[in-house]
Amino acid sequence: MLELNGDTEALGIPIRIIPNSKDTTLGVFIHFKNSVMEEKKISLEVVNPNAAGIDIGSRSHWVAVGQNAEDVKEFGVYSQDQMDLCEWLKAKNVNSIALESTGTYWQNLFSTLVGQGFDVILVNGRQTKNIKGKKTDIKDCQWIQKLHSLGLLSASFLPDSDTDTVRTYSRHRLNLLNRSASCVKRIQKYLRLMNMRLEVVVRDIVGLTGTSIIEAFVNGEYNGTELAKLRHGNCRKSEDEIARALQYNNRQDYLFALKQEWETYKYIQKQIQQTDLEINDLLKHIVDKNDNKKQHYIEKKSTSEKIKNGLTDTDLNLLAYQYFEGIDLMAIEGINEGLIIAIISEIGLEGIRKFPSSKQFTAWLRLAPNNKISGGKVLSHHIPKGSSRLKIAFRNTANAIGNLKEGWLVDFFKRINYKKGRATAVTALARKLAVIVWNMLVKGQAYNPPTEYLFLDEKRKLKLVARVKKQINKFELTREELGFVTN
């Protein structure tokens, strides 16, 4: 009940007061106009009427084609179960499906659904989070189906089949490199425990000098003087200093462990070489089957030293030039093979062309600030969390460029580094590299850095001159009309 004191007409609304028979309290009924009391309903248009939602699991998949109990069914993960799922969806006249990207469990089902002719979108798990309450597999698949029916889900980026295949080999190779690095650390540990201080006298214990010394040592040569004679000509340390560093303390247990780690390291290196051959053959196959790629050719760039952890027996300069259809990404100062193979394997040429602008590409990489604005005030503008393999490759390249001595990108890095620190400079240069790569691959622009740095006034002058020239051409003004009459 609403208790009123004073004049009821002051409210400006019609009020009817009825005495209450049980007590002295008055029952007040306020009759608002229909326009005030009428409930406002927001209707969402159904975009995908024949849609299904799938909650992916490791042992079973829950599929919903509606919001009723009979519209939900559970299927197994075997091949026959996936075919039964497709038949059931066809019987329900489903043509569009949304499934959540859960680990690697979605890949086989995704391939099966696409092969059966369904329109399938892969959705990030952040978009399918349900409201608070009891969470079950049935409610999850129904929630995904409802969101997909209303068109509230956006598809995640997926590469084409060729890029996906290169990605498998590339990621496997990266895992092998990580295993090799861990093995080298253990080798260095056992050498140190045996008083073989090889890491002090050589830069890389698995380089030319280090490999020769370790191979001779595990084969029974323990004399430091004899081991020092295996020094490569490019080694900066003398034989005497190397001999003093290699004094074996006769620990047989550490020697046994070192032998096994050395055999593991050589086996991993053999696997890496086999993987390099597979990647080389695959890239050549991709180029050979496309005449637009095959017609391009570029001379091999001369390098003074071998790139560590690069593809062996592969002219990546030529393959990348052909793969990118005549665009030479290696013309960018400081760019390395790691970034080239990451672009080819993680996104591909067709994949990067799916982004309408460089801003969207850098935002997808999470290299652009995520501006949060409320009430006209910027609350935060931090770089979003999360690092994809391609983002890591851009950042590693930017960090390497920061160590160079000269160049336009080096000058940019140094300016940001001086103002805001190295971490911010690495991110800023990684974003600039991503913009340059997008412009080169999508717009076909050649890399043409400015010869010198322009200050703000000089930039404004160039823009003003360009705008004036545009106006002159637009109105077809002559020299006499502009007042530039020469005697």
Assess whether 31 and 55 both reside in one domain: no
Rounded Cα gap, residues 225 and 238, in angstroms: 11
235, part of any domain: no
Q: Determine the pLDDT at residue 114.
A: 92
As to burial, measured by CB atoms within 10 angstroms (0-12 exposed, 13-18 middle, 19+ buried), residue 321 is buried
Looking at the structure of the chain, the number of domains it has is 4
pTM of the complete model: 0.78
Q: Determine the pLDDT at residue 39.
A: 61
pLDDT (mean) for 97-116: 90
286, part of any domain: no
Which residue is associated with the tokens 């248009």? 45
pLDDT in tens, 203-233: 999 999 999 999 999 999 999 999 999 998 8
Rounded Cα gap, residues 194 and 112, in angstroms: 56
pLDDT at 44 exceeding the cut of 90: no
360, part of any domain: yes
Q: Determine the pLDDT at residue 41.
A: 62
Of 96, 118, 149, the position where a domain reaches its end is: 149
Residue of 53 and 10 predicted with greater confidence: 53
| pLDDT grade for 484, boundaries at 50, 70 and 90 | confident
Assess whether 440 and 479 both reside in one domain: no
Of 149, 165, 185, the position where a domain reaches its end is: 149
| SS3 sequence of 275-330 | HHHHHHHHHHHHHHCCHHHHCCCCCCCCCCCCCCCCCCCCCHHHHHHHHCCCCCHH
Assess whether 410 and 465 both reside in one domain: no
- Of 326, 324, 357, 359, give the one whose Cα is nearest residue 343: 324
pLDDT (mean) for 266-282: 95
Assess whether 32 and 92 both reside in one domain: no
pLDDT at 12 exceeding the cut of 60: no
- Of 206, 163, 114, give the one whose Cα is nearest residue 347: 163
CA distances for 132 relative to 67, 99, 125, 139, 209, angstroms: 18, 21, 15, 12, 62
pLDDT in tens, 306-344: 677 888 888 888 999 999 999 999 889 888 889 999 999
Q: Determine the pLDDT at residue 430.
A: 95
| pLDDT grade for 3, boundaries at 50, 70 and 90 | very low
Assess whether 465 and 444 both reside in one domain: no
Contact between 449 and 435 (Cβ < 8 Å): no
Q: Determine the pLDDT at residue 452.
A: 62
Residues with Cβ within 8 Å of 94's Cβ and at least 6 positions away in sequence, in order, are 50, 51, 52, 65, 118
Assess whether 62 and 113 both reside in one domain: yes
pLDDT (mean) for 39-54: 80
pLDDT at 21 exceeding the cut of 90: no
Assess whether 21 and 90 both reside in one domain: no
pLDDT (mean) for 152-178: 92
Assess whether 459 and 439 both reside in one domain: no
Percent residues over pLDDT 90 in the chain: 56
Assess whether 131 and 92 both reside in one domain: yes
pLDDT at 54 exceeding the cut of 50: yes
Q: Determine the pLDDT at residue 74.
A: 93
186, part of any domain: no
Of 88, 120, 149, the position where a domain reaches its end is: 149
pLDDT at 120 exceeding the cut of 60: yes
Rounded Cα gap, residues 247 and 197, in angstroms: 8
- Which residues are bridge partners to 99 per DSSP? 54, 122
Rounded Cα gap, residues 430 and 436, in angstroms: 10
Q: Determine the pLDDT at residue 29.
A: 42
482, part of any domain: yes
| pLDDT grade for 27, boundaries at 50, 70 and 90 | very low
- Which residues are bridge partners to 64 per DSSP? 53, 72
pLDDT (mean) for 388-404: 93
pLDDT in tens, 179-208: 999 999 999 999 999 999 999 999 999 999
pLDDT at 33 exceeding the cut of 60: no
Assess whether 28 and 61 both reside in one domain: no
305, part of any domain: no
Assess whether 76 and 117 both reside in one domain: yes
234, part of any domain: no
Rounded Cα gap, residues 414 and 426, in angstroms: 10
Q: Determine the pLDDT at residue 434.
A: 95
Q: Letter for the amino acid at 233? A: G
* 104-113, 131-140, 166-175, 264-273, range with the lowest pLDDT: 131-140
Assess whether 395 and 437 both reside in one domain: yes
Q: Determine the pLDDT at residue 298.
A: 87
134, part of any domain: yes
| pLDDT grade for 302, boundaries at 50, 70 and 90 | low
Percent residues over pLDDT 70 in the chain: 88
Rounded (5°) CA angle 431-162-286: 100
The average confidence (pLDDT) of the chain is 86
What are 333's two structure tokens?
Answer: 């100062």
Domain housing 481: 454-487
pLDDT at 40 exceeding the cut of 70: no
Q: Determine the pLDDT at residue 234.
A: 86
pLDDT at 473 exceeding the cut of 80: yes
pLDDT (mean) for 414-428: 93
